[in-house]
Structure 1
Amino acid sequence: MDNRYKMRIGISIGDTNGIGPEVIVKTMSDSRILNYCTPVIYGSGTLFKQVRENLKAEHFQFQQVEGANALVPRKVNLINCISEELELNLGNPTPESGKASLDSLLAASRDLKAGLLDGLVTAPINKDNIQAEEFNFPGHTEFLTSYFDAPESLMLLVSGDLRVATVTGHMSVRDVPAKITEALLIRKLTILQESLRRDFGILKPRIAVLGLNPHAGEKGLLGREEVEIIRPTILQMKERGHLVFGPYPADGFFGMRQHTQVDAVLAMYHDQGLIPFKTLAFENGVNYTAGLPIVRTSPDHGTAYDIAGKHIASETSFREALFQACDIIRMRSGV
């Protein structure tokens, strides 16, 4: 970390026709943010002037800089990385807004890999219109895992003491059962444990593992994955001295608030974990990619085209993502 600055946090702007630029401007309108970090927006000065005007956000000020090696402390920095003039068509994904989101993400990722940034916060993309030769992935998580040469990563949703991770990510539900193996479960549990220790300072983390099938399979009556794969993996981890429990039926587990008794929950697939998480913490939830050599967070919502341009998008989740990135960087660096 460069001691001349607070933590340097890169910000990719997401799909420009969604709410990404709006929540960025609203977050950066509070100058107290600069007490915690040096924000670096990867976008377009023209675009953000237009967003500021639309929102009447007179408190949002930024300094355009040539690159991340020329940042101005105690300012919101902006690096122009979108080559063409961008016409806003709020609420409607377009090829142009997809390309802008990719240009922003690639520029921020390059600087992060070069050590010019300390972390990255990504605004929501459209997983369809961002697709290109440089981005052939289901989402941010998979792209960043590949870009930073990580063997594997883990989607971890965070809100205070509530942490929910998923074994599988962006894939069809019908493909999930074949992916659940002891080897994969052990790798994901290991990433989760290491992240809880390294990134959240929990020395002996307690992890609850959910079953795949209804009622955690009912001893094989409703599915064999719990009996043949999930429970044996949990027993292996326990034999190694780890505090891993389950498998629990997903509905009753959250319904009885058992998540409050552990440090993290490992769900088998995307919606099994994200539905209860977003029900409990949608307003201030953060998506963190555990297992990477770098720190990346994002808000837990999407592009929200239905409210883009209506000036009603809440910036709370984006702000929490920014603070969470700062907290994890500080924890990793021992500051």
Structure 2
Amino acid sequence: MREEENIIVGISIGDLNGIGSEVVLKMFEDPRMLEFCTPVIFASIKTMSFVKNHFKLETQLHSINALDQIAPNKLNVLNCWKENVSIQFGKEDLKIGEYAIKSLSEATAALKDKTIDVLVTAPINKHNIQSDTFKFPGHTDYLNQELEGNSLMFMVTDTLRVGLLTDHVPVKDVASHITEELITSKIETVYQSLIQDFKISKPKIAVLGINPHTGDNGVIGSEDDTVMRPALQKIKESGKLVFGPYAADSFFGSNNYKSFDAVIASYHDQGLIPFKTLSFGQGVNYTAGLNRVRTSPDHGTAYEIAGKGVADLGSFEEAVFTAITIFKNRTEYNTLTKNSLAVSKRKRFNPKN
């Protein structure tokens, strides 16, 4: 891995008709941002110049045709295509979806090859990206296929972290997806991420129930009693500080979440509605559980304001800083773990030392 001060942040440009390209260029209009990382936008210099001129920005762009041309202290733009792109802010366009996937696939390949250190993804439109070669409901599932590990959608701020047992699953199918094996696997992913990515030595995790009032002793569903509680009991017996299931309706309103390092919700809206309400657009979507670091802002394409120059860059900025912090934490953790194993090995073979 690269030295911390030279962390290379790859940026997939997302849906060009949305607000992603605007917030990316706005963020790096401030040259001080280049002191924190070396950014690389996966798009084209023609496309990004169009966006820059549309918003009348002063952002300085550095065009490159290969990743070995990345220059520090510059906003690098890798030319992933040469043709002009017809950008119509606020409109859904299947062709624009193709460019979003081209950017994502090239950025992911660079992440796998460690040419870039972390990946920050601008928002995509989950409908116009679908094709014969790309059939994923979003970034998380695609990255889970391309990278090693077991992905988990982890929404994070400085004071709140919410993980999901199930993410892009229809509500009618949620209960059937939640098994003891899934609960165990996802909690293990969150637990390990809190240790290596967020430097929390003994994580304390809350788990929300599946049904209203966690089933009310079977009156409103049996899954919390037959699946959730037995799984959590086994995890507790292994020594982990895992608590629940808690009734989701009052958990956040009572500020109970403040007593835990992370909260695991059973399904998408159960976790993301309170998260986005409390984070006020400063949240970050982090894909935990993979062997590489990927973050994203917690908002979508926002077609309704695209092209108007009013998009808030706060969440994207947080996504970049979070990716850098996690990369540093994970590098430190891996180094300490490696050194600890080396010491342990020496003691085994040299018991007198």
What TM-score do the two structures reach when normalised by structure 2?
A: 0.92
Q: Deviations over 1:113-146 (max 9, x none)?
A: 1110100000000111111233211100000000
Corresponding residue number in structure 2 for 1:20: 20
Corresponding residue number in structure 2 for 1:57: 57
Corresponding residue number in structure 2 for 1:109: 108
1:153-164 maps to which residues of 2 (within 5 A)?
153-164=151-162
Distance 1:278 1:17 in 2: 23
Equivalent position to 2:305, from 288, 297, 307: 307
Partner secondary structure for residue 304 of structure 2: helix
Corresponding residue number in structure 2 for 1:169: 167
Quote the offset at 1:189 in angstroms. 0.3
Corresponding residue number in structure 2 for 1:34: 34
Quote the offset at 1:23 in angstroms. 0.7
Alignment check: 8 A CA contact 1:5 1:73 kept: no
2:73 aligned with 1:68: no
Corresponding residue number in structure 1 for 2:348: none
- Structure 1 runs (4+) deviating above 4 angstroms are none
Equivalent AA in structure 1 for residue 131 of structure 2 = A
Equivalent position to 2:276, from 263, 278, 284: 278
> Structure 1: 5+ residue runs without aligned partners?
none
Corresponding residue number in structure 1 for 2:89: 90
Corresponding residue number in structure 1 for 2:181: 183
Q: Deviations over 1:217-248 (max 9, x none)?
A: 11211111111111111111111111000110
Alignment check: 8 A CA contact 2:13 2:122 kept: yes
Equivalent AA in structure 2 for residue 135 of structure 1 = F
Distance 2:325 2:254 in 1: 30
Equivalent AA in structure 2 for residue 100 of structure 1 = Y
Q: Deviations over 1:134-184 (max 9, x none)?
A: 32111000000001143x210000011200000001111101010111110
Alignment check: 8 A CA contact 2:4 2:328 kept: no
Corresponding residue number in structure 2 for 1:233: 231
Corresponding residue number in structure 1 for 2:289: 291
Alignment check: 8 A CA contact 1:5 1:38 kept: no
Distance 2:104 2:258 in 1: 35
Quote the offset at 1:49 in angstroms. 1.1
Distance 1:321 1:169 in 2: 19
- After superposition, the CA RMSD in angstroms is 1.3
Alignment check: 8 A CA contact 2:41 2:77 kept: yes
1:254-265 maps to which residues of 2 (within 5 A)?
254-265=252-263
Q: Deviations over 1:37-85 (max 9, x none)?
A: 1000001111111111121111x11111122222101111110103431
Corresponding residue number in structure 1 for 2:9: 9
Distance 2:6 2:144 in 1: 26
Q: Deviations over 1:75-120 (max 9, x none)?
A: 1111010343101111001122101101100111111111101000
Q: Deviations over 1:243-262 (max 9, x none)?
A: 00011011110010111100
Q: Deviations over 1:294-334 (max 9, x none)?
A: 00000000000011011111000000000000000000111
Partner secondary structure for residue 206 of structure 2: strand
Equivalent AA in structure 2 for residue 25 of structure 1 = L
Corresponding residue number in structure 2 for 1:138: 137
Alignment check: 8 A CA contact 1:4 1:73 kept: no
Equivalent position to 1:196, from 187, 190, 194: 194
Quote the offset at 1:2 in angstroms. 3.1
Change (3 A) 1:154 1:73: same
Distance 1:217 1:267 in 2: 15
Equivalent AA in structure 2 for residue 44 of structure 1 = S
> Structure 2: 5+ residue runs without aligned partners?
336-353
Distance 2:236 2:2 in 1: 41
What TM-score do the two structures reach when normalised by structure 1?
A: 0.97
Distance 2:301 2:118 in 1: 21
What is the aligned-residue identity percentage?
Answer: 48
Distance 2:206 2:313 in 1: 31
Distance 1:327 1:254 in 2: 26
Equivalent AA in structure 2 for residue 243 of structure 1 = L
Corresponding residue number in structure 2 for 1:125: 124
Quote the offset at 1:4 in angstroms. 9.7
Equivalent AA in structure 2 for residue 132 of structure 1 = S
Equivalent AA in structure 1 for residue 40 of structure 2 = V
Q: Deviations over 1:272-296 (max 9, x none)?
A: 0000000001310000000000000
Larger radius of gyration: 2
2:48 aligned with 1:48: yes
